[in-house]
Structure formats: C-alpha cells, structure tokens
Structure 1
Amino acid sequence: MSVVLACDLGGTSFRAALIDAQGATRAETVILGPMAADRLGWSEIDATEWWRILVAAAGRLAQAEPDLFGAVEAIAICGVTRTQVFIGRDGNQLRPAMTWKDSRAEAAAARLREQLSDAHPETGRINAFHPLARLAWLREEEEACFRALACVLEPKDYLNARLTGRQAGDPVSMARLMASREPAAGIDPFAALGLAPSILPAVIEPTDAVGPVLRGLPAPLDRLAGVPVFCSSSDTWVAVAGLGALREGYAYNISGTTEVLGAVGPEPVEAEGLLTVDWRGLWQIGGPSQNGADTVSWLLSLLGRNSGEAGAIGREIGALLAGRRHPQPLLFLPYLQGERVPYWNPSLRGALVGLNRQHGATDVAFAVLEGVGFLNRIVLDRAEAALGVPVGEIRFGGGAAANPVWSQIKADICGRPVVVGASKEPGLLGAAIVAWTGLGRFASLAQAQDALVRPAARFAPDPSRKAAYAALFALYRRSEAALAPISADLAALSRGAGALPGVRAPMSPVSKDRPA
C-alpha cells in the first residue's frame, strides 16, 4: 500500500497523517503548535519551532506505522496564511514570524495608503494584516532586518524550503504580495518601500513539486530522501478541496482557531470588506475572521471549564448547550481580537448585550455560537450579492463541525443547508488530494474531490426559527454599529498610561536594534 504524508500547520496545532489513494487515513498525529508571543497587538512565533514539530510529527508516524512511513510517495503541507516568515540571505529566519493576529502595522498601513495612490488596485486592501503593511512596519521599526531581507515566505513554504532547499510559493497564498509587486497607474508599491521583486519566492501551482526531499535531514525524514514535496497552498484553499467545495456555486466555512467563510464562483467579483482571490480557474470571495472555535475556548476558560484535555472543548460546550435556555436571548459580538473579514479593524472589541440576573452559562454559550453565526451571515450576504446568485449549500469543516448544534445554528442563521464532510480533518484530506493529484493519480483536483470526499451529515434550515433569527440578526447589526466607536475608545485607553487598579505595565517591545 502506498500513502502520502499530509500535514496541516494550523493556528494552534500541527497535524500530520498518512493517507492512502482512497482518502483513508491510515495513521494520524497532532502536536500542539508553538506558543505565540502575544502582547498588545504583537503576535510572533519562532518559525524554527514549526520545523521541530514537523520532524517530531513524522517521528510519531514512523514509530506507529514504520512500514507505511517507508511507503510515502509524496509530501504536501498546507498552512496558516497572513503570516510572514522573514528570510535572510543565508536561508535562515531573520526574526520571529508575524502571525495572522499581529496588528502592530496599523499605523504603518495608514501611512502607506497615504503614500500610494488610490489608482493602484491594491491600495484599498492595505491594512494592519496586509503583508506589505508589515514590511513597511519592518522598515520603520527594524531597519537592520529590513535591509537584510532576502525573501518572505508563508509558514508552509518555510517548511517546504527546509525539506527541499528551494524557496517557492503558490499564487493563492501569495496573492496579496503578488498584487503589490505589480505596478499600476504609474504606482509601484514595492519601489515605494525600497523592496526588490526578488523577495518573492518562485511562484508555482499548488500541485507542482517544489523539489525532492533533501538527503541528510533529521530522522525519520532521512528515510524520505528523494520523495517529491508539492507546493500546496493556504489551509483555507486546501481544506475547501478537502470539503469538496472547490467548485462553482458552493460556499465553505472552516472553523478552526479562527473562521474562514467564502463562496466560489466562475469570475472575479468584489464586495466591501471581502477578499477576491484567484483560485486557479475559480474565484473565491470571502476570507478569514479573527474569531471562531477559539472563541469557544475563551468562553470555557472564562467559566473554568477548559481542562486542556483532548476532546474537552467539545464535551464541555455540548454540556452547556444541553442546558435550559432563558426565553430572552443574549447578543454576543465575537470581536475578541479585532476583526479581519469583513471589517479589517483591529480595534473592534467583543461584547455581551442584554444580560439579566436570570441568564446563565447556557445562555452565554448559545450567544457565542450565534454571534459567530451572525458574522458568517454578514460575509455570506455580501458574497452572494456580489455573485448575483445564492449558493446551493455551505460545506462546513474544522473542529466546530463536530458539534451538530452549531451546524444547525449556522444553517438557521444563514438560511442555507450546511453539509459536514465525513473527514474530520479536511485540511489533511485536502493536502492528500493535492499530493495524489500532483503524482498523477487523478487528472484534476475536481476528479480527486469527486473520488475522495464524502458528505456525512446535512443540516437544513429550520423554517420555524427564521423569524426569530431575523429579529435577532437585526439587533446584532444595530449593536455592532452602536458599539464600534466605544470599542475604538477602549482600545485607545489600553495604549495609554493605564492608572487603573490591578493594571500591570505591558512587556517592553522588542528593540529597534534587533540584530539581523
């Protein structure tokens, strides 16, 4: 039996599996990801920790299934995006990677937008989470690193480079930097920052091989020398393939640490706050939020019900949802870490609205799930309006998809059927689809999806809940509008001197003189 090594570098964990050509997982392991250094808008991870975890995950699989590990025919890794690894001329990282949560480039983004003309199509997309804004921040705050910069890689491309010795990326993951590299209307964003086009790695298709595994790598990767490593793509694009939604007329919703929701169409369309990305013959409109299943983890920790054990989150939220709910619902704005799609505002903050003395943990749990569902609906409404047609169904995957109550809530709020795939890890299955397609086992990604993806459950919208959720959604939108200015003022206070009781001084930021 032959297998591929599929890996998913997620926001909080690293998953790896040996998957055969029928889509069956023969061995799987998960390792908690490195702890991000988070403070006041900063979020950094040492990229070498991802490499260490990849080696450890491969070691676990080789120990569990030594014969199967020796039969690996290819490797494909998908990974978080909106995260930059800054590489020097020696091929090593210059500084810790800036993660998807990092918002410190907000002011640099504003200055960059002023510097560039609105005539360039990318200018309006530049915000605190945009890679060009982070490069502008690097130039302002860590000039030595900026001058030593040779390449900017996505996390999965950093691992691919460690495996093969070649720096390459795909056009889906690198869409924003690629768009920034292209001059338009006499404006050259790269030149404005003093960036060389060569900081972008070679651009190849997700199903193209970056190269073979190098000899001499740490065990057990040394056993895979010569095996092709396929470029793959972002965790979103790959997981959508693993859900069977990489096709026209479908929507997808992936709920891991954060949520990603979008719709797939045949042509590029635009909508306020949404990303339009070329998905290699198809176009997606939508994008990532800052909030998702991690919001549930936050709630359980707040209630003292998150033990950290495997499966604990699912059990505990299930127990809360099984409780009795008060007739008066609560509203929850899920913006605990600011928000990306559709607001791109790092200063948004979360809120519970409507609390009374009779409300309990069950009411808050429902409000949290519904708050994320309302955010899903905002994105879906904008995407469908741009496409001009409703989607047929929403393919739902990720950890939260194991909860049938949340699946039903999403179907009721969005008014579309929600379909959960049989694979509990669509990112891993999608990576396997990329690898098997790259090997030529399937003629196309569409053919691979048809062969390997199987739906497991379908949740149709409940007509009896339509009116109640419509009323609650209207109140949600009013709450957003009313509280956004207060969120901004509260965020501003956190950057002040802070004389409130119990407030401790924040950690000192990294020096501008960080060595290159």
Structure 2
Amino acid sequence: MSIVLACDLGGTSFRAALVDETGATCAQHAIAGPASHDDRSGRSEIEPDAWWKLLTEACSGLAAEAPALFDAVEAVAICGVTRTQVFLDRDGWPLRAAMTWKDTRADAVAAGLRARLDPAHPESAAINAFHPLARLAWLREEEPEAFAELACLLEPKDYLNFRLTGRQASDPVSMARLLTAAAPHDGRDLLAAAGIPASILPAMLEPWEQVGGVQPGLPAPFDRLIGKPVFCASNDTWAAVVGLGAMREGFAYNISGTTEVLGVVGREPARAEGLLTVDWRGLFQLGGPSQTGADTVSWLLALLGRDGADVGQEIDALLSGPRQPQPLLFLPYLQGERVPYWDPSLRGALIGLNRQHGPADLAFAVLEGVACLNRIVLERAETALGRVATEIRFGGGAAANPVWSQIKADLCGRPVVVAASKEPGLLGAAIVAFTGLGRFASLAQAQEALVTVARRFEPDPARKPAYDALFALFRQAEAALAPISRDLVAAAQEGGPLAGLARHASAATVLHVD
C-alpha cells in the first residue's frame, strides 16, 4: 500500500491525513489553528512558529494513532492559506509576525501605489490592501528596520516546507500576484518601481516538483521521515479544486470554508473587473477569494446564542423553522470584501426586518446573501470567458449542508456537485504527492482516478423567478449602502465624529423612571 502525508493549513484549523493510492483517508488528525491577533487598526497577525507547532502536533497525533501507516509514508505535500506573508531574514528566521489574509493596514499605502505606479501595467489596478506588494510597501514605511533585514518572502505552506527541508521555495500559483507585479511592462516592473528588491522572491517550483527531502535533526515524529520527498504543492484553493476534480476547462468551483472562494476554469487568460486571473499551470482560473463564508454562519449562531454546539446541527435546526413570506436581504460584508470589490470598508446589513421575522429568516438570509455574492462572481467570470460553466464543484465544510447546496444551485442557476471527499484540500495535496512520485502521468489523470462524486443538486426552475427578483434587490441594496458603509467606517476611525461612541457608552448613566 502506498501512503502519503497530506496537510492542509486552513484559516482556522490544521488538518493532516495519511492517504492511500485510491484516494482513501486511512487516518486523519485535525487541530484548531492559532488565533490571529487582530485589532481595530486592521492588524491581523500570526507568529509563523505557531504553524510549525501545529504541523508537529498534527503529525505526532497521526504517528501515535497509526504508527505503521506513518512509517510507510512515501512523500509529503502541504497546501495552505494564501494572501498571507511570512517575512524571513538572511538566516531564515521570521523577522516579525506574518500578516494574514484579513490584514487591512496597507489600504492607504495601496492607494498611494496605484496613484504613482505605471497605470498601464496589468497589475496596477489590482493593488489593494490585500496585495503582497502593498504589504511590502507598508512594511518599508512603517517598520523600516525589519524591511532592511528582509531576505525572503514566503507563504505559510512554504515556511513549513522550509522548516522540513531547509530550502526556501514557492510556486507560481501562490506567488501569482507578486510575480505579475515583478514582470516587466514596457521595460518597467512594479516591484522595482515600489522599491522592493526582487531578491526577496524565493525559487519557483511547479506544485508537483520536489522542494527537497525531510532533513535530519528535526523533532519527532519527523525523524521517521528523513529523506522522504516534500513536494511544493500550492495554496489551499488550488489544492481543493484539484481534490474536487474541478481542475478542468469549463468547470466552476466553490470552496466554502472559513471564507469562500469561487471561480471558473478556462483555457485562456480572460479578465473581468474585480476578479483575479491566475495561471493554474496549463489552465487559468477567473475568480478569487471572498471575506465571507462559513464564518458568517458562525457569526450568526453566536449572535443568536447558539454557538456552543456543532455548527452544522445548529444551522440545520434554524433552517427547519418557519419562514415568513417576506424574505430578508443580507449583505454579507462583515469584514470588508475581497473579490469582486476589494474594499475593506464595505459592511454588512440586514434589510427588510419586521416584527414577525425569526431565527429561520435570519439563517436563510445569510445563506442566500452569500449565494448572491457567488452569483455575481460567477456571472462576471462567465461573461469574460464567453461561456456558461457546466457545473459548480462545491467543497469545504458548508458542502455538507444540502439546503445551502440547493440554494446555491437555485440562485446561480447551475448544477452544484458535491464530491465524496469531505476534505478536498487534503485529497488535492495527496494527488500532488502521488503525481510527483510518478504514480500518475498528470494531475488530470490523478483527478480522474481519485475523485468521486457524492451528490448532485440541479437548479429548481420553480424557484428561478423568486430568486431572480431577490438577486435584483440584492444588487440594488449593495449599490445604495456601499457609500454609507464607507462613510460609517471613516467616521468611526480615530479622530472621526463617531470615534467616541463606544467610550461614552461604557460610561453612560442609566436613568430609572418610576
């Protein structure tokens, strides 16, 4: 039996699994990820060593649960959360905490870069608070001493690969935005124009290429894997799309974890406003990550005081309740939005509340609001590609909920297909490892062999008129409330007219009327 160690470093958890050559998970260990250190300034950081501790703990759990299988591991592949930067010095030590995908402190710096850099460069318009170039420029301005010591920039999974092998490397998918910025346009590149040295870029490998072997001298249980090849892999979205079998022309994918990622896969590098076009090594994806998803459901459950038990069971219980004839509209922008708006100042809203609305109405509104955002991204991508997606491959934790799957199918008007693997990121990492080992001639061949379908949800024609009407109102609400969101955020910043409300509230005196 062939066994590989597949790992998925997510936004809120770390999962490791021993996967065999049929794609079956023989053993799995999951642990909660380190909480990011967030504050009102837009800061969101995690110490890189916290991820190394997670990898060590998860693999120790696997080695204890299935020692014979762990000793049979032939290769390692780690996929991981992206849009997160690890800053290393010349000796490979982290200079500071990593900036996570939620960090918005570079927003003003990004605006300045867009204003002064070459507007004709294809990456100029994409520079925002979440862009690695803006993060690097922010570091140069705000922490010049750390910037002066910067020798290499890695993604979290690259950092773990480095700790395992001693080699600093990444892949062109995970580093796509920075590589595009570094590409010359009319003899000029944005990296140099922004004062960022190209030397901070690590070596670039294909996801199925080997970074190196597990080096000696590491703590247990890695001493049992010395010399085993570690493959570069890629970000968690790319790996999950492979694990869903959606890495093929004309397919759409929707990964719903802490946040959602949606896109359409095509042969040509089409472009659409607000969407990312990324070379996925022979195919191109058009779409990208949002700031909303299953975490929005968790927020709702906490708001209703129902966050003490299983999230899936709690949302199922809410959805089984009575629903009022007049639905609610929910704008899901609780922490700004990435694709397709790239606006950290967008905020959420519940529209249409009346006295009869209850928990079930709120639950449906949240699921439908996220699905409306899915439809916006899907339609933009399809229009740019000039074709309709044949189906949406749906994965992640939310894919276990059949109500949400059907809502997505009905609102988007496309079949939603749920793969059998409950952890497509892990399966995708395993497919990378088996392909790198030469067990399959290509990723496409490995997908055909190892990915199976569990359920298919067809759009219900009877619901189309209602959902088309709801979607039209959703778009109207977005347009009307976006300026108010921005003004509200600006007014609440330090020195703004609303900045003191929270302080005044804590000191307020309650008057009792007899």
Q: When the two structures are superposed, what TM-score results if normalisation uses the length of structure 2? A: 0.97
Aligned match for 2:455, one of 457, 463, 469: 457
Q: Secondary structure at the match of 1:194?
A: coil
SS in 1 for 2:501: coil
SS at match of 1:73: strand
Offset, 1:409? 0.1
Please state how far the C-alpha of 1:369 moved relative to its aligned partner. Answer: 0.1
SS of the equivalent of 2:433 reads: helix
Query: Aligned partner of 1:201: which letter?
Result: P
1:331 matched to 2:329:
yes
Tell me if the contact between 1:5 and 1:432 (Cα under 8 Å) persists in the aligned partners: yes
Match of residue 396 from structure 2: 398
Tell me how large the CA RMSD over aligned residues is: 1.0
**Residue ranges of structure 2 left out of the alignment (5+ in a row):** 507-514
Distance in 2 separating the partners of 1:504 and 1:313: 32
Partner of 2:303: 302
Greater Cα offset, 177-186 or 21-30: 177-186
Residue type matched to 1:384 in 2? E
Distance in 1, matches of 2:39 and 2:273, equals 30
1:376 is matched with which residue? 374
CA contact 2:161–2:230 (8 Å) conserved in 1: yes
2:427 pairs with one of 422, 426, 429: 429
Per-residue CA deviation, residues 282-318 of structure 1 (Å, 9 max, x unaligned), is: 01000000000000000001111011x5xx0000000
Match of residue 145 from structure 1: 146
Aligned to 2:64: 63
- In the alignment, what sits opposite 1:132? 133
Aligned to 1:438: 436
Give the SS at the match of 2:28.
strand
CA contact (8 A) 2:151 2:200 kept: yes
Q: Aligned letter for 2:13? A: S
Q: Counterparts of 1:362 and 1:333 in 2: how far apart (Å)?
A: 17
Question: Counterpart in 2 of 1:10?
Answer: 10
Q: Which of 296, 318, 321 is the aligned partner of 1:320?
A: 318
In structure 1, how many angstroms separate the alpha carbons of the residues matched to 2:122 and 2:500? 44
* Partner Cα separation in structure 1 for residue 275 and residue 493 of structure 2: 29
**Code of the aligned partner of 1:461:** P
State the distance in 1 between where 2:256 and 2:270 align: 24
Alpha-carbon distance in 2 for matches of 1:290, 1:65: 36
What is the one-letter code of the residue matched to 2:413? G
Q: How does 1:413-428 map to 2 (within 5 A)?
A: 413-428=411-426
- d(CA) in 2 for partners of 1:363, 1:14: 33
Q: Please point out which of 488, 491, 494 is paired with 1:490.
A: 488
- Which position in structure 1 is the counterpart of 2:509? none
Quote the Cα distance in structure 2 between the aligned partners of 1:287 and 1:313.
25
Matched, 1:499 2:500: yes
Give the distance between the partners of 2:137 and 2:502, measured in 1 at CA. 36
User: Separation in 1 of the partners of 2:443 and 2:468?
Assistant: 38
Q: CA–CA distance in 1 between the matches of 2:123 and 2:50?
A: 33
Would you say the 8 A contact 2:246–2:253 is kept in 1? yes
> What CA deviation, in whole Å up to 9, does each residue of 1:321-379 have, x standing for no partner?
01110000000000001000000000000000000000001100000000000000000
Displacement of 1:466 in angstroms is 0.2
Structure 1 position 419, deviation (Å):
0.2
**What is the CA distance between 1:193 and its match in structure 2?**
2.8
Structure 1 CA distance for aligned equivalents of residues 45 and 279 of structure 2? 28
Give the TM-score normalised by the residue count of structure 1: 0.96
Secondary structure of residue in 2 paired with 1:101 = coil
Q: Residue 512 of structure 1 corresponds to which residue in structure 2?
A: none
Residue 181 (structure 1) aligns with = 182
Partner of 1:37: 37
Label 1:254 to 1:503 Cα distance change in 2 as closer, same or farther (>3 A): farther
Alpha-carbon distance in structure 1 between the residues aligned to 2:68 and 2:4: 13
Deviation above 6 Å: which 4+ runs of structure 1?
A: none
* 3-state secondary structure, aligned to 2:368: helix
Q: Give the distance between the partners of 1:111 and 1:362, measured in 2 at CA.
A: 44
Aligned residue number for residue 509 of structure 1: none
Whether the 8 Å contact between 2:208 and 2:436 is mirrored in structure 1 is: yes
Shift of 1:188: 2.5
Residue 366 of structure 1 aligns with which residue? 364
Equivalent AA in structure 2 for residue 255 of structure 1:
S
**CA–CA distance in structure 2, aligned partners of residues 459 and 446 of structure 1:** 24
C-alpha spacing 1:469/1:248, structure 2 compared with 1 (3 Å): same
Name the SS for the 1:376 alignment partner. helix
Q: Distance in 2 between matches of 1:503 and 1:300?
A: 28
Partner of 1:513: none
Q: CA deviation at 1:204?
A: 0.6
**CA offsets, 1:20-40, max 9 Å, x none?**
000000000111000100112
Q: Return the alpha-carbon distance in structure 1 between the equivalents of residues 390 and 191 of structure 2.
A: 40
Instruction: Decide whether the 8 Å contact of 1:321 with 1:366 is kept in 2.
Output: yes
Count of aligned positions: 502
Which residue identity is paired with 1:187? R
Q: Is 2:137–2:196's contact at 8 Å kept on the other side of the alignment?
A: no
What are the equivalent positions in structure 2 for 1:188-227 lying under 5 Å apart? Answer: 188-227=189-228
Partners of 1:314 and 1:38 in 2: CA distance: 26
Whole-Å separation in 1 of the counterparts to 2:115 and 2:98: 26
Equivalent residues of 1:256, 1:399 under 8 A apart = yes
Q: Give the CA deviation at 1:500.
A: 1.1
Contact 2:118 / 2:190 at 8 angstroms: preserved in 1? no
CA distance in 1, matches of 2:303, 2:293: 16
Q: Which residue of 2 aligns with 1:46?
A: 47
Contact between 1:119 and 1:185, CA under 8 Å: does it hold in 2?
Answer: no
The residue matched to 2:288 in structure 1 has which SS? strand
Consecutive unaligned residues in structure 1, runs of 5 or more: 506-516
**SS of 1:325 mapped into structure 2:** coil
Q: What are the residue-to-residue correspondences of 1:157-306 with 2, within 5 Å?
A: 157-306=158-307
Kindly state the Cα deviation for residue 117 of structure 1 after the two structures are TM-superposed.
1.3
| Cα distance in 1 for residues equivalent to 2:254 and 2:136 | 30
Deviation at 1:502? 4.6
Contact 1:332 1:350 survives alignment (8 Å): yes
Aligned twin of 1:387: 385
How far is the alpha carbon of 1:410 from its aligned partner? 0.0
How far residue 496 of structure 1 moved from its aligned partner, in angstroms, is 2.9
Q: Counterpart of 1:135 in 2: which secondary structure?
A: helix
- TM-aligned CA deviation for residue 494 of structure 1: 2.3
Query: How many angstroms apart in 2 are the aligned matches of 1:110 and 1:489?
Result: 17
Alpha-carbon deviation of 1:113?
A: 1.2
> Equivalent residue for 1:97?
98
Question: What is the match of residue 510 of structure 1?
Answer: none
Which residue of structure 2 aligns with residue 514 of structure 1? Answer: none
Partner Cα separation in structure 1 for residue 165 and residue 100 of structure 2: 24
Q: CA deviation at 1:42?
A: 1.1
- Judging changes above 3 Å, is the alpha-carbon distance between structure 1 residues 34 and 473 closer, same or farther for their aligned structure 2 residues? same
Q: CA deviation at 1:146?
A: 0.7
